[in-house]
Amino acid sequence: MGDLSPAQIQQILVGVFILVVSVALHEFGHAWMAVRLGDDTPRRQGRVTLNPLAHADPIGTLLLPVVGGYYAASSGVAGGFGWGKPVEWQPHKIRRGIRMSTANILVSFAGPFMNLVLATIVVGVHSVLVWKGVITLDSKASLFLYQATATNFILFFFNLLPLPPLDGGHIAGAFVPYRHRNQWDQIARFAPFAILAVMLIPQVAQVFRVPAMWCTKGLYGAFGVIPL
């Protein structure tokens, strides 16, 4: 990172911190929902916690965000993707009376939903701090909170793309009729290539970045705060 300024290095570290916390909450959501539905596997594996270390993946939570942040800081192109350690759960352990497809939808959606909740909380706190005059809209604290909000909306929309193994892929698969499962499985084989395209091609990434930024600005507007 020798060619980066101290401000750019700080930007990378802040982005990684935000991503680590956001991913931890995301994975916690999956684990919490699975336990609520009757499967104690996530609890036995220590995943029903907000401790980021329990959900961190060495590559997806640390290495990739740092590399992506470096690329973003040095090129000016948005970067910094990441993921956490997948939560393991056993559908056959779900309480009787709950359909497996319903459980799959609930557990899958719980992760992105936690990112939505965190984004809303951050905007609420940010708005109160601005209203009370604790911070200004052009302060570093405001930039940090705005970045945290945008990151969580990006995680929300990215993970809901209907591409396995993303959460949206699991949700979409739960709606596929049994007679069409083979066709879905054949299509799903190519999903990782589509995910790579979404991550690496800026024009394709707009499919989730545009709604994420629209929701970020819209939520701030709803709270009566227009960030700079």
> What CA–CA distance (Å, rounded) separates 48 from 34?
10
With tokens 């719980």, the residue in question is: 110
> What CA–CA distance (Å, rounded) separates 213 from 142?
16
Residue in 12, 26, 27, 31 annotated catalytic: 27
Backbone angles phi, psi at 188, to 5 degrees: -65, -25
What count of Cα atoms within 13 Å lies in the side-chain half-sphere of residue 7?
1
> What CA–CA distance (Å, rounded) separates 174 from 168?
10
Residue 88: active-site member: no
Distances from the Cα of 174 to the Cα of 8, 145, 169, 213, 220, angstroms? 43, 35, 9, 28, 34
Strands in 60-189 per DSSP E: none
| Rg of the chain over all Cα atoms, to the nearest angstrom | 19
> What CA–CA distance (Å, rounded) separates 160 from 101?
16
With tokens 């684990």, the residue in question is: 31
Distances from the Cα of 43 to the Cα of 26, 33, 80, 221, angstroms? 16, 11, 30, 39
Residues designated catalytic: 27
